[in-house]
Structure 1
Amino acid sequence: MNPNAKRISYFEYLPNNEAFKEVVARRADVDLTRMVYAGPEADNWKQLAQTHVYQVTAARDDLPRQYFAEADLLARCPNLLAVSSNGAGYDTVDADACTAAGVLVVNQTGGNKEAVAEHVLGLMLCLCKRIMETDRYMRHTGGINRNAYMGTEIQGKTIGIVGLGNVGSRVAQICRAAFDMRVLAYDPYLTAEQCRERGAEKSELHDLMRQADYVSINCPRNKETLNLIDERCYGLMKPTAFFITTARGGIHNEAALAKALSEKRIAGAGLDVWDVEPPKPDDPLMKFENVVASPHTAGVTYESRWKMATFAAEQAIQILDGERPPRLINPEVWPAYARRFEAIMGRSVKDA
């Protein structure tokens, strides 16, 4: 190990693509170190104490709790400049604690927007055309009454998008262009004009829930969005409406959703994210024929993994070079971070 190297460390696996290693390998002054969960804890903590960029999985059920980027870990890592999530989400990172410690938090938002937006449309089509229901029936039962599985059309319907960021904006674009849908959006961080520029009408959450034929959750999971979609929200939906989420488990209340489905208050649900991932076969939501389930695979494509890995490696290099990364979650940390960067690296950041 080069004692003067810029250091990136990660556990088990990188963003699942060799592009990360290829980008980092171009820099002889950067050490990339792989740690393993089952390895000696003393060795892992020694490595983390020396690292400058901690590349961390966004999958909270994969990462042992002691290696979440929270206050306890930050206190043991005096040289840490940045925590970089492998994905668009950052469930394993306490952004507030990082800000208090003068540590940057970055994600790879936008890298999987095409994959996730396509998955949203796939779930919509499966639900309205009842594709999974008929597939399951035909595989296990002889004969089928086609009229018993009559579907509906997407054309001209209303979609309500919660979170009009990279994925939400792409969903809006596809729905308008391909299906002439009306698009409502709930995003408290955007003005009405900004929503219009992204192809949507700004709406309050409860108005969106009342009017939408499809509700798509595309916001990040944080303290403001935990349990955002609760029993009251499901109660506002049309009985003919479908609920879809490709965001993060915990944003929607699973028990309340199961109750809404059992009482036939909504028409069905497409679920890619769960409180516990993957869900067990006996999960209450898995018993409903009008639920289409996938195991957090909306963003898992060859193309998106390549983009996410490239974004992650490029941002890590930018940070180590003293540049301001483009996908910064906590920009308010910059002044404190700049002082820490100079103390640790012996030079000033390029964008103060």
Structure 2
Amino acid sequence: MSPPLKRVFRFDLWINPVFDERMRSQTDIQLDIGRLAAPDDDNAALLEQAHIYQISPARDELPLKWHAREDLLKRFPNLLAVSSGAAGFDTVDVDACTRAGVAVVNQVGGNARSVAELAIGLMLSVSRKIPLSDRKLRTERGFSRESLMGHEISGATLGIVGIGHTGGQVAHVAKAFDLKILAHDPLLSEQDIRARGGEPVDLPTLLAASDFVSLHCPLDNTTRGMFGAHAFASMKKGAVFISTARGGIHDEAALAEALTSGHLAGAGLDVWMPEPPPLDNPLLRLENVVATYHTAGVTHEARRNVAAWAADQLIGLLHGEKPPRLVNAEVWPLVLERSGSVLKANVPRALQSS
């Protein structure tokens, strides 16, 4: 009897080729690639047969109808797992997946170093006015070097909100600049925070004492809107706000007000709501804002890491191995139970009785 054919589906959004290569190296796994431009029925026909949905984590990159929400899960009951192509999973309703007996996996840590490097880069860019100097040198004359005078970051205090995989990497890199590291992370013990290079403090203390505040927490119901007018007002006067986390954690209008009032000295923003932000977004008109397009984790190294990790994790999952980056761990026994009947359904009847 031939082994059951296992089906993996993804859309034709860019992914490092290593994902497809590793999937296609498995004789019992079929990779199907849907085209976002194709008729919905064509993609639905592929998803209907899929056991794994490799999904883009970028909420504004993937049409809402293809997000892994309750309605999609009901339409495609053969799904055993949804795999995010990064650490975040904004396009996945984890609670709905858990109720449906569907595992959610991510690639947390795969792009941590890349994100950390950009976070430090944003601190340097804002403090040393690198983008402003570049723009002026290309378009103007008659300005002085002193008009572009910035500040060293060495010896300053960096407050890290969320010192997990990425925040821990930020702390590690920041040590090279002799930064004092404060950290707030309700998911970690004080011992764990210290082990990752931070001094554990509550959020009000971090905001009041930090010259830089850098966000590295997920977007969920506990963090959505966490940084609004009150949080920005609580930050040290002249501080710099950095976010490479997710749009929606900070209030963009409140941040613009804190910057234009002079309370905050600058901001480095890689994440927006929506993405990309409209050209008339007030933050894009401020010279003390350095803006990037959610590219913190978009490096060749990081994209290869997450693609390889995703492929290896899914191959293991389809062969009964518990995934190492399982978001909803409580669902795993049910996934194993469901996999027997779901995968058997793919075997022709003649082979099932042999």
Q: TM-score, normalised by structure 1?
A: 0.94
Match for 1:198 among 196, 199, 220? 196
Amino acid at match of 2:20: K
Q: Distance in 2 between matches of 1:129 and 1:29?
A: 54
Match of 1:96 in 2: 95
**How far is the alpha carbon of 1:91 from its aligned partner?**
0.5
After TM superposition, the structure 1 = structure 2 runs for residues 1-352 of structure 1, keeping only pairs within 5 Å, are 4-13=4-13, 16-176=15-175, 178-345=176-343
Deviations, residues 280-325 of structure 1 (Å, cap 9, x unaligned): 2221110100000011111111111111110111111111111111
Q: Which moved more, 1:36-45 or 1:316-325?
A: 36-45
**How far is the alpha carbon of 1:3 from its aligned partner?**
9.8
Unaligned runs of 5+ in 2: 346-354
Question: Any idea what SS the aligned residue of 1:156 has?
Answer: coil
Amino acid at match of 1:45: A
Match of 1:350 in 2: none
Amino acid at match of 1:80: L
Question: Any idea what SS the aligned residue of 1:7 has?
Answer: strand
Q: Which moved more, 1:37-46 or 1:111-120?
A: 37-46
Amino acid at match of 1:5: L
Deviations, residues 172-225 of structure 1 (Å, cap 9, x unaligned): 01112x112111111110010000111101121221111111111111112221
The answer as to whether partners of 2:216 and 2:244 remain within 8 angstroms in 1 is yes
Q: Distance in 2 between matches of 1:108 and 1:161?
A: 21
**How far is the alpha carbon of 1:336 from its aligned partner?**
2.4
The answer as to whether partners of 2:4 and 2:344 remain within 8 angstroms in 1 is no
Q: Which moved more, 1:322-331 or 1:139-148?
A: 139-148
Deviations, residues 41-70 of structure 1 (Å, cap 9, x unaligned): 222222212111100001111111111000
Q: Distance in 1 between matches of 2:160 and 2:192?
A: 14
Question: Any idea what SS the aligned residue of 1:207 has?
Answer: helix
Q: TM-score, normalised by structure 2?
A: 0.94
Misfit runs of 4+, over 6 Å: none
**How far is the alpha carbon of 1:149 from its aligned partner?**
2.4
Q: Distance in 1 between matches of 2:186 and 2:157?
A: 20
Q: Distance in 2 between matches of 1:343 and 1:6?
A: 12
Q: Distance in 2 between matches of 1:341 and 1:259?
A: 52
- Length, aligned pairs only: 344
Match of 2:349 in 1: none
**How far is the alpha carbon of 1:346 from its aligned partner?**
5.2
Deviations, residues 4-28 of structure 1 (Å, cap 9, x unaligned): 31010011125x2110011112101
The answer as to whether partners of 2:238 and 2:262 remain within 8 angstroms in 1 is no
Unaligned runs of 5+ in 1: 348-352
Amino acid at match of 1:143: G
- Percent identical across equivalent pairs? 49
Match of 2:350 in 1: none
Amino acid at match of 2:177: F
Question: Any idea what SS the aligned residue of 1:342 has?
Answer: helix
**How far is the alpha carbon of 1:168 from its aligned partner?**
0.4
**How far is the alpha carbon of 1:130 from its aligned partner?**
1.2
